[in-house]
Structure formats: C-alpha cells, structure tokens
Amino acid sequence: MLQVSKEKLFDDPRICHGNRIYLSAHLQVSWSADSTYTTVWLGLFELQPLTILHEAQTQAKPSEKNVSGHTNELCRKWLTTCSRSHERCNASLVSLIRRPKRLLHIARSSSDLHLSLSTDHVSVSYVTLSYCWGSDSSVLKLKESNLSKFKNMIPVEETPRTILDAAEIAYNLGFTYMWVDSLCIIQDLKQDWQEQSVLMGSIYAGGAINIAATGAEKATDALIYHRDPCVVLPTTVYIDVGGVPRGKYAIYDFQSWSREINERRINTRGWVFQERLMSPRTIHVSQDQVLWECRDLCACETFPDGLPGHPTWNDANNTPTNFSKSSLIPELSVLLFQLGTSGPLGEAKRIQLAGKSKCSTPELQVPCANNELENRADCADAYLKWRHLITIYSSCSFTETSDKLVALIGLANQVQAFHVDEYDAGMWRTTLPRDLLWHLAKEPRTRLPYEPVGPSYFAPTWSWASVNDQIEFPKVVVGDHYPARINRIYRGKDSSDRPDPAVIYLRLWSLMFLARIRPTLSADPQQLSLDDEAGASDHNSGMFLPDRGYLAAGTMVLCLVLQLSPFSQDTCSIPHFHGIVLLPAGDCNDHFVRIGYFVWRLAQEVCSEVFREQEIWLC
C-alpha cells in the first residue's frame, strides 16, 4: 500500500531569485511491506503572497464548464481594460490594415451564421479564430459551388464544432462578425487563396480579438468542456520559516503556461505562429480554463490580474522566465510598437549594380551591406529578435510545406513597414551574408543519402525555409570578420508572372576553397578534408553538417567562407572559420546550390594557395 507523508510535502522554501521566492516540493512515499521511504521531487513552484488574489477568488466556486457566464464576464473585463488602457495593444501593427474580403455574420447565435461580403462591413469590429483543421478532408469549407448558398445560411449541422463554439464565445462577448479561414477563403479557387493568404497577417492584426482553440486537436472537437472546478482554484500554503515573511501564499506552477498553451498542438502549427504574433490580443480556450494574452498582460482565471513573473507586475528584476515561445510574443510585439512610434530607422543606402551573367540576370537595385544600420542598437535588437523568431518558427509544422514563407509574409510586412530593409525568402538584406550561416539545430536521426531539390521546391537552397527541420544561427562574436559580399539579386517569376519565392539567386563574392568528403563511421559526423590537389595536410579538416542528406565519401564540394574567427587569448580558441558547402547547379559553371554548413578549425597554417576569391551565383 502506498503511503504519503503530507508533513513532508514541502521543503524549506528559501530559494530566492531577486525578490521572488520559489518552493521546492517533494512527496515522501513508502510501501508498507518494508516501510522504506522514497522521496519524489514534484517540481519547483513560485510562492506569491495571498494578497495578490481577490478574496472572492479564493472563496467562490468556479463553474463546472471552462466557458461560462463567469468566464465571459472575465473576458469582457480583460478586453475593456486592454482596449482602454493598453497603449501597445491599441497601436496598429500594420501601417495599412486591409479589411477581410468576407466575414461570418453571427445573426442571433452560433446557430445562425451566414457569409457577409466586405461591402457590408466597412467599419465593423470582428473576431478571428486560430484552430487546427485536422486530417478530415470532408470538413465544411467555402467553395465556388456553395458561395451563393453560404451568403444566405451556413448549415449548422455541417459546421465544425470548434467554429460553432467559437461563434458562441464571440457572440457572448458582444461581437457579431468573425473571420475563419476555411469559411472566408474560397478553398478551391487558387486566385482567391493567393490573394487572401498573403493578407492573413493583416487580417489578424485588424481583428478586435483572436479566439485560440487551444484545447482542440481538430476542427470537429468542442471548445466548451466540462471540467473539475478545483483545477482553477489557487493552492495555498502557510509559511513560517526564517528568511520569508510569515503568512499565507498561493503556489504558482510557472510551467503551467507552457503546458496549457505552448505545448498544445495548435501552437506547433506554422500559420498559428503568425496569427498569435499579429493579433493584438488573444483568448486561449483550453480544456481547464480560459487564458488571456496581449502585449501588456498574460492572465488566467486563477490569476486574473496577471501571471506571477510577467513584466506587467512592475518588478524590475522580473523576467518572463515562465514563458517559452510566448516570451518572444510580447518582446517582438513591443519592439514593433517602438519601431512604429519612433519613425523609420533611417534610409537604406541603395546602389545601382549593372552587368549580367551568362545565365541572364537582369540589372537590379539592391541595398548595400549597411554595417552602420546593423550596428545601431535599435536595429541590432530587431535583427536579433528576428533570428530568435525564425529559430522557433522553423520548428513549426505545416500541412503544405510550400506555405512556410507565405505564413510569414504578414509579420515580415509589419517589420518592413517600420524597418527600412529589404526582405527575401525569410531573411533581411542587411544581415544576409551573416544569416546564410544557419544550420540544422540537430543532426538527423537517420543517415539518408543526399537528394537534390526538385523542380517544385518552395524556397532557394540558401534560405532556412528550404529545409523541414528546426534551424539555428551561430552566435554573433565581436571581432569576427564576415568577408562575403552580395552584389546582385535576381528574382524569377512563375508561369502566372507572379514572383517565385523559390527562384531568388544571389550574386555573391567571397573566399572559397575545394574540399572532399572524408570517409567516417556511420555514427560520426561527416568530415571535410582539403582537396589533395592543393597539397594540404590531412591535419586540417572541417566538420560538415548537411541540410538534406549525406554525401558519399570522396565527393568534391566547394566551401564558401562566411565567417573568420581569429585566435582569442581570452578563450584560448584556435583560429577557425564557418561557411556553407556547395555543389554545382545544372550546367552553368558559376551556379551553385547549398547542401550544408561547415566549421573548420585550423590545426596548422593552411597554404594561401588553397583559398581563392570568386564570384558565384547561389541558387
């Protein structure tokens, strides 16, 4: 029989960080057969003085449903406070908000929905919905064949449960219009999808509030659930130990936000990532409770005035350590607000570069490698946060991998509206030579052979968007040298004469050298060695991290140097350089595709004849 010693549930809670107090909780259990106790660590929890909670909150019994009259009242209070007093939430994130082409009109309740055209709702407030479609292809969608029918009535019996429940929540909050992608974009009309999908960031930015179906795995799941009311009641303890003010405390599990929101399936989806960033405020409807997220406040039923540790608690030592993905949401949103209210960050220098390659690259205007712009504190912060954003975004999943860059357009347009720089394939021109150093965050579990990208690939090989794995960027080190220079950029078009995101070629100059893939054991990382013809020693070798599979030993590759790190007496590090590994692309002898990333540490001097300066096209 399992026995629990309640007296030993909590340890001495004198684990402090700044003026925050943490409690380390253990559970002591034993089996009656031998009376041997085993201590199980439950986790680290934060203590908050009970005065931060309303007295009624500790006494009232919550509803047995996660959405009820009480939660509707709480959401209306959050919305009213945010709309009236949160300057950052009310600042438009897009210089020119584009109204949705269509909206769902909630006439009397969720059982009375019909499609409304933009001419009918020039200035109305509307709600947006973030949710997972699921794998059921038969779920109701707007099509050319039912467009006229939906203008009169959308059949309730066929409408997914998530959408119906979201409509009920929106109606109870006082809204009669809602935007849902599956019912507001004609799904079998390519032109309509192309027009509306690139505006989705603006549509979510223009909504009054976003309802996130955090507790639903698919569109047919309900949003309104029965729950254990005790889940949202704060757990309290009485503390009387030295070093901590005596009294009652509420225990806050600072990993709860991550479990309730960040780890849910919906927030692993790429489209939802942009929707969450661009929306001025979001109501997360989880199975246990309703949570609030805006640029000034993160709250829930348990802590309606704000989660402990959130910066809105006016604590100079507080940092949002209790958030993972959401820590970037307010940071980037605040940054965008600052950029928008402080005006343009300066004029990007432009130069006219002439000349054509034998594969017909036209004359283009491109920005200079503007180090002055990048070195400004406000600009550097913007670029750094963008890299952080991409690192997280690259871990998200897509039903259609070709949506990866499309689902980021809204956010890129927002940054571009306030930040004078050019954007291509998920990267910014000013930092492009440096950002080409992205690489996979983890080595693939299985060693698949290298496969060239096919004709239907959706991003140039030099972009992080060309791979379907999480990526990361090397740290920017003061004193390192970045020799590459981008001289021209060629943009191709598809068969419809629209810009093709996969056909963006960089005319790039840098140092480069030839190398071969060395034979290695199957479990070891692949290594590069200098080409034998260069007469270099085998003592010099580099580590090769492939993007799309492993190359056969002996394969000749071109290594393009992007970062030079000199010897450092502080870290005792030896000189090394970073770059990308290339293979020829087609029949053009100066066109190359990226296949991976390399790090080369110099064990001894490398003969200067190994390196050569060259200008190539990177496809």
Higher pLDDT, residue 136 or 180: 180
The confidence score (pLDDT) of residue 120 equals 57
Do residues 538 and 501 share a domain? yes
On whether residue 13 sits in a domain, the answer given is no
**Which of the pair, 47 or 449, is modelled with greater confidence?**
449
User: Long-range contacts of range 395-403, CB-CB < 8 Å, 24 or more positions apart?
Assistant: 395/268, 395/441, 395/470, 396/268, 396/269, 396/270, 396/272, 396/273, 397/268, 397/269, 397/270, 398/269, 398/270, 398/271, 399/133, 401/458, 401/468, 402/458, 403/197, 403/270, 403/271
User: Quick one: 354 and 222 in the same domain?
Assistant: no
Assess whether 354 and 273 both reside in one domain.
no
What's the confidence (pLDDT) of residue 318? Answer: 32
Q: How far is CA 494 from the centre of its chain?
A: 28
Residue 58 lies in a domain: no
Instruction: Report the mean per-residue pLDDT for the chain.
Output: 75
Given this model, what pLDDT does residue 533 score? 46
- Given a cut of 50, is residue 363 above it in pLDDT? no
In this structure, are 464 and 316 located in the same domain? no
For residue 5, being part of any structural domain is answered with no
The residue-averaged pLDDT of 290-299 equals 89
pLDDT confidence tier of residue 341, bands split at 50, 70 and 90: very low
In the chain, the number of structural domains is 2
Examine the fold and report which residue of 302, 322, 342 is the final residue of a domain before the chain moves on. 322
Give the model confidence (pLDDT) of 542-555 as tens digits: 888 999 888 888 88
Share of the chain above pLDDT 90, in %: 29
Q: What is the pLDDT of residue 177?
A: 94
Residue 409 included in any domain: no
Q: What is the pLDDT of residue 284?
A: 96
Give me the pLDDT at residue 166, please.
95
Same domain membership, residue 595 and residue 549? yes
Top pLDDT among 3 and 113 is at 113
The token pair at 113 is 């929905």
The reply to whether 246 falls in a domain is: no
pLDDT reported for residue 567: 60
Asked if the structure places residue 211 within a domain, the reply is: yes
Domain residue limits at 485:
350-375+422-618
Using CA atoms, how far residue 468 sits from 490, 506, 562, in Å, is: 24, 22, 23
Q: In terms of domains, do 307 and 366 share one?
A: no
Q: Please check whether residues 479 and 556 belong to one and the same domain.
A: yes
**Percentage of residues in the chain with pLDDT exceeding 70?**
68
What is the pTM for the complete model shown? 0.80
Residue 333 lies in a domain: no
Q: Binning pLDDT at 50, 70 and 90, where does residue 68 land?
A: confident
Q: Does position 170 have pLDDT exceeding 80, yes or no?
A: yes
At 603, the pLDDT band (50, 70, 90 cuts) reads low
The arithmetic mean of pLDDT across residues 334-363, rounded, is: 34
The pLDDT of 40-61, averaged and rounded, is 51
Q: In the prediction, which pLDDT does 586 show? A: 77
- Which range of 339-343, 579-583, 610-614 scores highest in mean pLDDT? It is 579-583
Q: Same structural domain for residues 450 and 496?
A: yes
Same domain, 460 and 550: yes
Residue 518's pLDDT is 83
Residues 433 and 495 in one domain: yes
Asked whether residue 304 falls in the same domain as residue 198, the answer is yes
3-class DSSP assignment, residue 412: helix
Tell me which range, 209-223, 415-429, 484-498, is most confidently predicted by mean pLDDT.
209-223
* pLDDT of amino acid 92: 59
**pLDDT of residue 275 exceeding 90:** yes
pLDDT at 64: 79
The pLDDT value given to residue 592: 94
Q: Give dist(CA 284, CA 260) in Å, integer.
A: 9
pLDDT of residue 293: 92
pLDDT level of residue 306 (50, 70, 90 thresholds): confident
Q: What is the mean pLDDT of residues 591-595?
A: 93
SS3 118: helix
Is the pLDDT assigned to residue 454 strictly greater than 60? Answer: yes
Contact residues for 343 (Cβ-Cβ < 8 A; gap 6+): none
Whether residue 115 lies inside any domain: the answer is yes
Closest CA to 305 of 595, 53, 137: 53
Domain end point (choices 322, 339, 364): 322
What span, in angstroms and rounded, lies between the C-alpha atoms of 226 and 234?
Answer: 19
For 101-156, the pLDDT digits (tens) are 999 999 876 678 999 886 655 678 999 999 999 887 778 999 999 999 999 999 99
Say if residue 451 is in the same domain as residue 591.
yes
Instruction: Decide the pairing of beta strands 591-601 and 364-367.
Output: unpaired
CA distances from 108 to 6, 113, 141, 171 (A): 52, 8, 22, 8
Residue 351 has pLDDT above 50, yes or no: no
Whether the CB-CB separation of 597 and 581 falls below 8 Å is answered with: yes
Q: Determine how many CB atoms are found less than 10 A away from the CB of residue 494.
A: 11
Mean pLDDT check: name the lowest of 124-138, 143-157, 357-371, 562-576: 357-371
**Contact assessment for residue 502 and residue 402, using Cβ atoms and an 8 Å cutoff:** no
Work out the average pLDDT over 283-306.
89
Nearest to 293 by CA among 233, 211, 178: 211
Q: State mean pLDDT over 393-417.
A: 87
pLDDT on residue 346: 29
